[in-house]
Every structure is written in C-alpha cells, then in structure tokens.
Structure 1
Amino acid sequence: MSTDPAGLDTTLLRSYLQTAAPHLLAGPLTARLISGGRSNLTYGVSDGTRELVLRRPPLGHVLKTAHDMAREHRVITALAGTEVPVPRTYLLCADTEIIGAPFYIMELVEGTPFRTAEELAPLGEDRVRAISERMVDTLATLHSVEPAAVGLEDFGRAEGFLERQVRRWQTQLDASRSRALEGADELHRLLVEHLPATSGSTIVHGDYRLDNVLIDEHDRVAAVLDWEMATLGDPLTDVALLMVYQQLARRDGPVPVSTVSRAPGFLGDDQVLSRYADASGRNLSGMAFHLGLAHFKLAVILEGIHFRFLQGQTVGEGFSVFGDAVEPLLHEGISALRR
C-alpha cells in the first residue's frame, strides 16, 4: 500500500528524475506534505540523503490563470542573486503526465514559517518586533528590484494593472462561486467606480505575509516563498493585502489566516505602513482603493478554497472555517472604499 501523500506519486517522480535530472535525487524516494490545499501543494522529497522541495498546483478545481508553475519558477529563479532571499531552483516540469500536474523542484531552505501568535510570542517582544520589521524591509527590497535587471521586464504589463486586477478577481469569483455572497456585487461595482492611477510598477509578490517567509535562527528572513501570484504591478497592492491579513488576524473567533500580528511586539498597522514608506520612499496616503481591492482579492481566494473544500479536494486540515470569512471581508472592503 502506497504511503505517498495525496497528489504525488514518488515512483513516477523517481522514474522521471532518473532521466531528466539524475543528479538531484537517487534511489527510492519518500515524500511528506509540507503545506497543502490553501494554495499550491508543497512537498519535501527525500532519497534518504538529501531533501528537496516540490511544488505543484492544488488538486481538483483550479482557477484559470492561477497556480502557474512556470511563472512561479521563473520569478524565483530570476531573483536569485538579488537582495531578495529566495530558494535555489533546480528543475521545472510542464508535462502533466508525470505526476498529474506541472511541478518544479527547489532547494529546501532551513527556517520557520511562523503562522500563529502562539508560535511567535515565546520569542519575546524584542525578537518579534525585529522579525516583523525585517518582513516589511524585505517587501520594500523586493519592490526596489528593477524588473529589466533580472530579466522580468515582460513578466506583466504595468499599464492598466489595477483595472485588470479588478476584472481578474471578479472572473475568479464567478468561476468558483457556489452560493450567493452578500456584498460581492457592490464591492466589485465600487472598485470599478474608484479606479485610481497606478502608483508605479514593480515586481509584486501577490500574497506577502509572514507565513510565506522563512525566518532563520538569527531572526533574519531566510527565504520568501509562495510566488504563485507574482507579477509586475502596483506595489501598494502587496502592502494593502498585508494590512488586510493583519486586520483579519485580530478578529474574534476562528481565523483562516496567519495570526502572527496578535503577538506582543509585532508591528501594528500604522507602524508597518510607516516603516514601509520610509524604506521605499512611497506615498501611502491614498490606500483606500488598494485596501478595498485587497479585501476583494482575499475574499475570492478564500471562496475558491471553500469551493475546493466542499468538493473534498483540499489536502490537510482546518478548511471548514474559510467560507465563513468571505462575506465579512466583502463588507469590510466596501467600508474601506467608503471611508
């Protein structure tokens, strides 16, 4: 009986690697699920001597344009050698016949992806503050990278980025909506009516938060992970989404996202914005639209996860609360645009 985790057949993978990249892993392989179901599936794959990381799309319902392994692999590879810490990439496989989906293999970086305040708080307020400061500084560093300097000048289109984001997330919602969602149509309408001019174009991560970052034993950022939504666009979209994650974490009841912002010492919202503004030199006075868009985007992402959960296509635990957060996020996005 196979002990492989869902979504990865190690026998088929080994057969492929013996021809495509025999230097990476040799002998029988074992695999463990590192994280799964919320975004792309991440596995540790070992031959008993060396362990690497394999990333593939989630099982089942996958939204069009989402979970693009080639784009994720490209941006991580491009950022190697910059001041943005990323894992080393080794292989990209676009052939869906190997394990049932495209995948890529990268270095296993040692570090902790802090997901909860309970994990972070024992470090003490000074270390927690330092970690949250370095998280913000790393985002500003990412936004300072010149795309053309790393071969990413064609990674996205700066013109019309915010308009396309509104359209994209509405399309994604239409593709995964399985129920009536109060506030969805109104928030979309307000976003269309309040489109601002872009505040520049940089490489944007698309889902930046502390649990998508590995922290090393010296409280430094060892690697930024989960680049599946990276593109070229308005850097304030990354900042606004980080704010929404922080605010959502402080709500009462079950929270379907990282709760690290509850930890004593973690930078508050105003402190995050101030530190980012100082590090980047950007004006953050007009964030209302970006916050509304961030609420809409996260609501759509959680609705997609909720849809996969209902279809029995999530891998791991804790997915039953995701759907409960969708309508509150939509209403908070409306409020952000009306302030």
Structure 2
Amino acid sequence: MSDVIVAPETRDLGELAGALAQWLAARMPHAREVWITDLAYPRGAGQSHETVLFEAHWREQGEERQQGCVVRIKPGGFTVFPDDLFVQQYRVMKALAEGGEVRVARPLWFEENPALLGNPFFVMERKTGRVPVSIPPYAREGWLKDATPAQRRVLWRNAVEQLAAVQRVPLDGFDFLAGPNGERGLAQEWDKYTRFARWLQQVEPLPILDAALERLRGLWPGNQPEGLVWGDARIGNMMFDGNFDVVAVMDWEQPSLGGALHDLAWFCVIADTMHGPASTYGAPLEGMGSREETVALWEHLAGKSAADLEWYEDFAKFKMTCTGIRLGHLRGAPMMDEATMAKRLKVG
C-alpha cells in the first residue's frame, strides 16, 4: 500500500531520461557525458502535477559528479485549477530559497519551451527525507503512525515553525504574485475562488457553492493580516528528516499575496480531518498539537493575530470542496453528496 503512485499523468521514463540528459548538457557548459538514472514517480503524493525524481550524473574537470533532481511538468489536460501559476510557482520557490528562512528545494532551471516534454517544466534539487503521505493516509499506517508521541510532538512543532516562517517573509519583490487585476490580500483569494466556483459551474450547476459564497460574504472578517499564501499548507506537503525536522516545504502551485490566515486555516482543517478529532482514519495521533496549541504557537512565531480564524477555516473548506469537485470531474468520480456538502459548507 505504501508505494501507491498517484501521478495525474505518466510517460515512458526511458525516453524522458534521454531527453533530460540532452537538455541538461546544454545548460551545464562545463559538464561532459551527462546521463540520467533512477527515474521514478513519487509514492503516495502529488495529484496535480506530473513530478519525476531522478539522479543527474556528469563529468567535470575529470571528476564524476552527481545531483539528485526533480522535474515538475506543467499540467496539460489534467488541470485542477483555473489559474495558470506555473511560472509563479517557480519564481516564489526561487525567492524563498534565496531568502533561506523557509526551507524549500532550490530551483535550478526553468524551460518555457513545450517542445521537449510537451509542456513547460522546471528542474529543482532533490531533497532527501520522509513525507506523511495521503495515500495511504499517514494517520492509518506508515512511519508517522509508528512514531512515538514525543517524536510526533517534535514534528508538529517544527511544522508549525515553518508554517509561521512563511508569514515572516517580507513581501517586497513578490509583486508577481498579485491577482489578474492587481488584487492583493483577502480580495485576491476571494476573487480566485469565486472564479473557481464559476468555472466548475460551466460543467454543471452547483447552487450550493453560490449559497456558500453568499454566507461567507455576509460574515466578512475584520482581521485581514497581509502575508504570503503557500496554498496547500499541510504536513503532507512537508518533508522531514530522521530527527523529525523539516527538510522541505513543497507544492507551491497556488501561491498568492492573499494574507496570512489562509494557510493557518488550511493547516488546521487538514490536521483535524487527517489526524485530529474529526479524523476518519482512526484515533487521533497522540503528540500532535491541538488546534488551540497550533494557533497559539503560530501567533507567537508569526507575530500576527489569528482572530477570525473560524471564517478562514470555513473558507478553506469551500476551497477544498471546489478542488474536490474538480478532481472528481477529471477522474469521472462521483461528487460528494449534497447533504454532506451542505453540512461542510454550513448552508441549506
């Protein structure tokens, strides 16, 4: 079960190795005899981008060298989100890697020409560690389930530290993340997901989404601290070493300048459903911080107030519902039943 591949699209890895070797050789003028080995799709994670791990080898100045790499390819037909933020994903990771406070894999090269792999792609360094995967759920089986409560406590604290570190990043130089009409702050995230809801309804009418938006609009939060949005903030998008410290914060495919509380809300909702009181995967994981502990630690480390977090959590559930509906459309899977959706969105 632990080696389930969930990549949205796959290809012949032998052909990919040859194409990448030629491409890398052109980008490393001092390299000789470039070759690629150990190509593999990640196990148990990654449902929107085709992502392939590999080892790059070459000779330089008479010595053999090696670099673990990851190639991330822009989605083609399997597009989960209406907004194309592939270039922004690369740029935000590059900026964060240069800043150093948020631990991300260092982007190495970007290729905008789709001729080689069918779509633009970028290559980044490969980090080594363990990820609490969603398939199978980490709360049901795997290394985190088998860890001690004390080890889980270390992991939780380190994860929240990185979550808060995102909110300490100065926003100077991130103007490229503004919305289509220059939106920033809550207005940007609100615009993104109201457009997402309209996009979904081109396939089928979903009045429940309109009702949920109306409800949220009527409860508009007063607390709107500025901040960078990671977009999919959860421990399942973090890699950890043997000491349960964070090696990398991953999957920056929907970044924005939408504000500090979106990621905290998303993190809390996911934590609750995956390993907390609302988990459907068994008893809560002892040692993982409660919602109250997570919020208190985040406020202390980020230096921002989490007032009105409940609104942002409801908005996060709306975002998750939109994403789930879209994934269902792509996979031909049945949508969540209306009663469950209404309860989740607090409408009806």
TM-score normalised by length of structure 1: 0.82
Shift of 1:265: 1.1
| Counterpart position of 1:12 | 19
2:343 alignment partner, one of 331, 334, 337: 331
Residue 97 (structure 1) aligns with = 115
187-196 or 201-210: which moved more?
A: 187-196
Secondary structure of 2:42's counterpart equals: strand
Q: Which residue of 2 aligns with 1:110?
A: 128
Displacement, 1:295?
A: 0.6
Distance in 2 separating the partners of 1:228 and 1:124: 32
> Relative to 1, partners in 2 of residues 1:326 and 1:172: Cα closer, same or farther, differing over 3 Å?
farther
- How far 1:32 moved relative to its partner? 1.2
Contact 2:103–2:248 (Cα < 8 Å) also in 1: yes
Q: Are the structure 2 counterparts of residues 31 and 134 from structure 1 closer, same or farther at C-alpha, using a change threshold of 3 Å?
A: same
| d(CA) in 1 for partners of 2:283, 2:132 | 11
Q: 1:326 and 1:219, CA in 2 relative to 1: closer, same or farther beyond 3 A?
A: farther
Q: Which has the higher contact order (CA 8 A, sep 6+)?
A: 1
Pairing partner for 1:68 from 85, 89, 105: 85
1:298-325 Cα offsets, whole Å, 9 max, x none, are 1111112111112xxxxxxxxx58x438
Query: 1:233 and 1:201 mapped to 2: Cα distance?
Result: 7
Structure 2 CA distance for aligned equivalents of residues 217 and 248 of structure 1: 25
Distance of aligned partners of 1:326 and 1:166 in 2 relative to their CA distance in 1, 3 Å threshold? farther
Q: Match for residue 314 of structure 1?
A: none
Whether 1:26 aligns to 2:34 is yes
1:234 to 251, 259, 262: 259
RMSD: 3.2
CA displacement at 1:21 relative to structure 2: 4.2
Q: Is the 8 A contact 2:81 2:323 kept in 1?
A: no
The more displaced of 262-271 and 15-24 is: 15-24
Q: Match for 1:16: what amino acid?
A: W
- CA distance in 2 between counterparts of 1:7 and 1:326 reads 40
By how many angstroms is 1:16 displaced?
2.8
> 2:129–2:240: 8 Å Cα contact kept in structure 1?
yes
Q: Displacement of 1:249 after TM fit?
A: 2.3
Q: Matched residues in 1 for 2:292 and 2:32: separation?
A: 45
**For residue 172 of structure 1, what is the amino acid of its counterpart?**
F
Counterpart CA distance in 2 for 1:182 and 1:327 is 13
Q: Secondary structure at the match of 1:204?
A: coil
Q: Secondary structure at the match of 1:231?
A: coil
Between the aligned partners of 1:165 and 1:71, the Cα distance in structure 2 is 15
How many angstroms does 1:5 deviate by? 3.8
Aligned residues: 318
Closer, same or farther: CA 254–121 of 1 in aligned 2, 3 Å: closer
Q: Deviations over 1:188-243 (max 9, x none)?
A: 11123333345221222111100101101111111101011112221101111112
Q: Is the 8 A contact 2:88 2:176 kept in 1?
A: no
Deviation at 1:42, TM superposition (A): 1.5
Structure 1 runs (4+) deviating above 6 angstroms are 251-255
- Structure 2 partner of 1:174: 198
Q: Assess, with a 3 A threshold, how the Cα gap between structure 1 residues 303 and 92 changes in structure 2: closer, same or farther.
A: same
- Going from structure 1 to structure 2, the CA distance change for 1:251 and 1:305 (only over 3 Å counts) comes to farther
Q: Do the aligned residues in 1 keep the contact of 2:178 with 2:184 (CA within 8 Å)? A: no
The amino acid of 1:60's aligned partner reads G
Which of residues 85, 88, 91 is equivalent to 2:103? 85
* Aligned match of 2:70: 53
- TM-score, with normalisation over the residues of structure 2? 0.80
CA distance in 2, matches of 1:133, 1:88: 24
- Structure showing greater radius of gyration is 2
Judge conservation of contact 2:48–2:80 (CA < 8 Å) in 1: no
Q: Name the one with the larger helix percent.
A: 1
Preserved CA contact (<8 Å) 2:20 2:36: no
> Please, which runs of 5 or more residues in structure 1 have no aligned partner?
311-319
Distance in 1 (CA, whole Å) between partners of 2:55 and 2:49 is: 19
Of 214-223 and 239-248, the range deviating more from structure 2: 239-248
User: What is the identity percentage for the equivalent residue pairs of Structure 1 and Structure 2?
Assistant: 20
Which residue of structure 2 aligns with residue 313 of structure 1?
Answer: none
Letter in structure 1 aligned against 2:145? A
Q: Name the stretch that deviates more: 43-52 or 21-30.
A: 21-30
* 2:272 and 2:279 in contact (8 A); partners too: no
| Structure 1 residues 137-216: aligned runs within 5 Å | 137-148=161-172, 151-156=173-178, 161-177=185-201, 178-179=203-204, 181=206, 183-197=208-222, 199-216=224-241
2:294 equivalent to 1:277: no
Amino acid at match of 1:114: P
Alignment gaps of 5+ in structure 2: 1-8, 58-65
Q: Which of these residues, 19, 25, 49, is aligned with residue 40 of structure 1?
A: 49
Match of 1:248 among 251, 265, 273: 273
**Per-residue Cα deviation, 1:55-97 (whole angstroms, up to 9, x for no partner):** 1233414256545321111111111242211111110111122
